[in-house]
Amino acid sequence: MNSLRPYPVVHARASRRARRMSGVVAAALAIAALVAVMFPDVAVAADRFRKLDPGLNRRAEAPTRRTSPIVVRLEPGQALPARLQRYVRGSRLRLIDSYVLDVPETELASLDALPQVASAHEDRPAWAADYLSTRATGANIVQQALNLTGRGIGVAVIDSGVTSWHDDLVALDGRRYPYGNQRVTKFVDFVNGQAMPYDDHGHGSHVAGIILGNGYDSRGRHAGIAPDASLIALKALDSQGKGTISTIIAALDWVATNATKYNIRVVNLSAGAAVTQSFWIDPLALAARRLTERGIVVIAAAGNLGQNAAGQMQYGGILAPGNAPWVLTVGASSTEGTPRSEDDVVAGFSSVGPTRGDYLAKPDLIAPGRGILSLSVPGSTLYQNNASYLVQGTIRTGYPPYMSLSGTSMAAPQVAGAVALMLQANPSLTPNLVKAILQYTAHADADYSPLQQGAGFLDVDGAVKLARFYARNRAGSRMPVVDSWSQRIIWGNQLVTGGYINPAANAWATNIVWGTAVANPENIVWGTAESAENIVWGTLCDEQNCSNIVWGTADANGSNIVWGTADNIVWGTTTADNIVWGTSGPENIVWGTSGTSENIVWGTACGGENCANIVWGTTTADNIVWGTAGENANIVWGTADNIVWGTFGENGNIVWGTAGTTPENIVWGTADNGNIVWGTADSSNIVWGTADASNIVWGTADNIVWGTAGPENIVWGTADITNVVWPINQAGVTGGSL
């Protein structure tokens, strides 16, 4: 199944206002062109050295005398070439058949020719995905009515370590642990090699407390989600909250080797790295995949790149390995400091999909991540540098035992704790089924697109109850569906609604990549028909015709649309404000919203057959239009009343700059007849280019002229009668008046 490809805090409340989306998932593919412009190194692969990633290609093209830390993946069954063994740093990463090397940059190009080498990648930086903010109410407590606390479920936290002591980690039942009465089942240090638990940054302890702190110093107010889960703390980040992908992969490799011994069912990665390659070849993403294939749920923070410096939302900021479909990727929400769910919002900093380069719809869902209170670590970097975020408990202690942090780092462990509860209720759950249940029971908010919220806001109570139902149900049992649940999943880039999750469906197998369209020799099935007019989620075909895919409901009342291929593909709903993905006419493609004037149309907008005019962006006067502007096929890139980049008229002359008529507007390009005009277009501005067929004019139109006044004479000076003329004679000796 490795060759399969997909198509191109805690809300523990049972009663949450139902907030259903009127449309379907905002197209990840629909903004692929925009993200490709933002991240061209991922979107366009034109590397000279096929086995090297883009960063190493650049270094191989212009090597220096420095060495580069790299991760080298080997072909199956191959050993590391002898010439590379002297560069090995650390032990082998068996999970992905790789080594970490410190290689001279002059050697990089030669790696491309080694048959034993499958690929080589930068050992790029990784960092904690936290984001400091103001205090908030903190994490909510999972309802205790089900008597589920995560007992027996191992949760590996790959982060900056765990504190050597905290009251909230003390074993209150008198049980002994390897490190005294601190509830730490295992500690492994991949940074400094120390044996005893410590956390010199403080981030890992905060994350661990969200998952399984018992809230002792706050009389239970700031308890974690699964307080009886087993903590396996793997230190892969240093005192500054930084690391590399190789240390994270080493920790994942350790999990694969020791998962059975410690019953590790969940991995939390509140850290990430920049996306530089597709998840199909990125070593960090591949290491995460190896764990999911072993039945381990890998949870990653989406990242905190949801806004630019001006506070505007930006797309494509999902971090690795959260860009991979087999990873459960968590964005952040904010409770706005109230216990009410109705005013919860998506945190502005939370990274928005699609994924860079692969354009996959992410995140998978969101959880509280703003102003979360959890464990502090005296002496750690965060403790020393952020005194204003330290918070006292309700029990007198010698130091503030809690700290308020914000970020998707705080949201991911909310989900990790929820998954531990789900697995305690139903140990047979696979990673895919865990994700499906979390998405199906989430609460979608119509104010946000799925690229912001995924399937919606986390509902721990609903997810655990549905997981327990699948473990206990008998024939004829009624599924406990709550109206406020989204009752949908995002399968790859497709939104599936209108049915029930079938826990026996082949989509949940550990060898199925989330989002895959076909699993030979069978078609993917996700759910069951709710009533006669609803269609089973999956492919409908026979031996003669297996190309028509139907995803969704087939009723004819105009609100639900068949998703799939026929002649024209329609993905989405057809109401005025909803999204249409696919072809809406014989050849014209519309991607985006097709309703009100401010909505986005991606594809051809002219309405007729064979129309070549593409509009990418919004259609209002002050919004961005990318594509061709008229029948002359001239390209306009930029805003309609502001910057125009592209060709300006039928003569093919290029205009770069602003499109208005004010004198300060800049026009760069050819003005007519091949003459170049660089500068502003009014009489007092600069014109650089040829003033006639052969003479060069550099300077302002009413001031300096630099160029030739005749076939060979050079004129430097002003253009009126007082201008100085410096000619040259035939012998090349300069002369003239001064």
What sign results for the dihedral spanned by CA atoms 10, 14, 19, 22? positive
Please give the average per-residue pLDDT across 28-49, as a whole number.
Answer: 47
Q: What is the pLDDT of residue 616?
A: 46
54 in Cβ contact with 357 (< 8 Å): no
Place domain 127-427+449-464 in its CATH homologous superfamily.
Answer: Peptidase S8/S53 domain (3.40.50.200)
If you search the block for the tokens 């890992």, which residue do you land on?
A: 204
Q: Which tops the pLDDT comparison, 213 or 588?
A: 213
Instruction: Measure the CA–CA gap between 592 and 582, rounded to whole angstroms.
Output: 9
Check pLDDT > 50 for residue 568.
no
If you search the block for the tokens 């490190």, which residue do you land on?
A: 179
Q: Which tops the pLDDT comparison, 113 or 730?
A: 113
Domain boundaries, the chain: 52-124, 127-427+449-464
Q: What is the pLDDT of residue 556?
A: 35
What sign results for the dihedral spanned by CA atoms 62, 68, 70, 72? positive
Check pLDDT > 70 for residue 117.
yes
Query: Phi-psi category of 531—alpha, beta or left, where left has phi over 0 and alpha has psi -120 to 50?
Result: beta
The partner residues of 706 in beta bridges, in order of sequence, read 698, 716
pTM comes to 0.68
For residue 688, count CB atoms less than 10 angstroms from its CB and return exposed for 0-12, middle for 13-18, buried for 19 or more. middle
554 in Cβ contact with 562 (< 8 Å): yes
Instruction: Measure the CA–CA gap between 346 and 728, rounded to whole angstroms.
Output: 71
Instruction: Measure the CA–CA gap between 250 and 126, rounded to whole angstroms.
Output: 13
Q: Can you give the C-alpha Rg of the chain in angstroms?
A: 30
Instruction: Measure the CA–CA gap between 182 and 470, rounded to whole angstroms.
Output: 34
Check pLDDT > 70 for residue 35.
no
* Per-residue model confidence as pLDDT tens digits over 692-716: 544 555 555 455 555 555 554 555 5
Instruction: Measure the CA–CA gap between 410 and 414, rounded to whole angstroms.
Output: 7
- Which residue type does 732 have? G
Please give the average per-residue pLDDT across 440-454, as a whole number.
Answer: 94
Please give the average per-residue pLDDT across 259-263, as a whole number.
Answer: 98
Model confidence at 718, in pLDDT bands (50, 70, 90)? low
Please give the average per-residue pLDDT across 70-74, as a whole number.
Answer: 96
Query: Average per-residue pLDDT in the chain?
Result: 74
Instruction: Measure the CA–CA gap between 77 and 88, rounded to whole angstroms.
Output: 18
Check pLDDT > 50 for residue 250.
yes
Q: What is the pLDDT of residue 23?
A: 31
**Of 296, 289, 291, 292, whose CA–CA distance to 265 is shortest?**
296
Please give the average per-residue pLDDT across 142-171, as a whole number.
Answer: 89
Q: Do domains 52-124 and 127-427+449-464 have the same CATH topology?
A: no
* Per-residue model confidence as pLDDT tens digits over 615-667: 444 444 444 445 444 444 444 455 544 454 554 444 444 445 554 444 444 44
Task: Report the 10 Å Cβ neighbour count for 430.
Answer: 18
What sign results for the dihedral spanned by CA atoms 407, 408, 413, 414? positive
Q: Classify each residue of 7-21 as buried b or exposed e, where b means 16 or more C-beta atoms within 10 Å of its C-beta.
A: eebbbbbeebeebbb
Residue 247 in tokens = 């240390």
291 in Cβ contact with 267 (< 8 Å): yes
Check pLDDT > 90 for residue 600.
no
Q: What DSSP designation does 439 have?
A: H
Please give the average per-residue pLDDT across 670-686, as a whole number.
Answer: 49
Residue 404 in tokens = 């308020």
Q: What is the pLDDT of residue 472?
A: 87
What lies within 8 Å, CB to CB, of 696 at 6+ separation is 689, 690, 706, 707, 708
Instruction: Measure the CA–CA gap between 515 and 331, rounded to whole angstroms.
Output: 19
Model confidence at 366, in pLDDT bands (50, 70, 90)? very high
Q: Is 3.40.1130 the CATH classification of the domain at 52-124? A: no
Q: Which tops the pLDDT comparison, 361 or 695?
A: 361
Q: What is the pLDDT of residue 522?
A: 57
727 in Cβ contact with 737 (< 8 Å): no
Residue count of the chain: 738
What is the strand order of the sheet 271-273 is part of?
A: 242-244, 125-128, 271-273
